[in-house]
Amino acid sequence: MAEPEFTSASFNQFLGEHKLMASRCRSCGALWLPPRPLCPACHGEEMEWVEMGSSGTLLAFTTVHIAPTAMIEAGYGKDNPYCTGIVRLAEGPAISAQILGVDARQPAQIAVGTPLEVAFVERGEGDKRRTYLAFATPGAL
């Protein structure tokens, strides 16, 4: 069976199955997240999908008070800020996502290096319903 294309559409489809999938270069083994169809490291064109584990650590973060539309619809905004961050997975690649289980009103208490677990958040109604990648502090969900 042919691999799904290495696109954000495929990546999002996997998220809907609650799988965090990266592309791995068959030539040099580099992992890319979000997936890429070509390897930026060695220019290899042969990729394969690999599922990432559930653990990572917080590399950097920011709190968001001016929310984009999808997040406003999810109840976030000026009076209910949220945290978004870059998470380094145990496998090596890093990806940005919402960080759950931290208090975005108290950014000074959010620590780089915090261990996190993959979480999948369902948002939207009807046709707009989709799964978003997030990370949560252990025990937060």
Residues near Zn ion (CB under 5 A): 25, 27-28, 30, 39, 41-42, 44
Cβ at position 47, least distance to Zn ion in Å: 9
Query: How many beta carbons lie within 10 A of that of residue 49, not counting itself?
Result: 16
Whose Cβ is closer to Zn ion: residue 52's or residue 100's?
52
Whose Cβ is closer to Zn ion: residue 25's or residue 136's?
25
Are 96 and 27 contacting, i.e. CB atoms less than 8 angstroms apart?
no
Cβ at position 42, least distance to Zn ion in Å: 3
Burial of 118 (0-12, 13-18, 19+ CB in 10 A): buried
Cβ at position 12, least distance to Zn ion in Å: 24
Whose Cβ is closer to Zn ion: residue 25's or residue 102's?
25
Alpha-carbon distances of 68 from 106, 110, 134, rounded to whole Å: 21, 22, 16
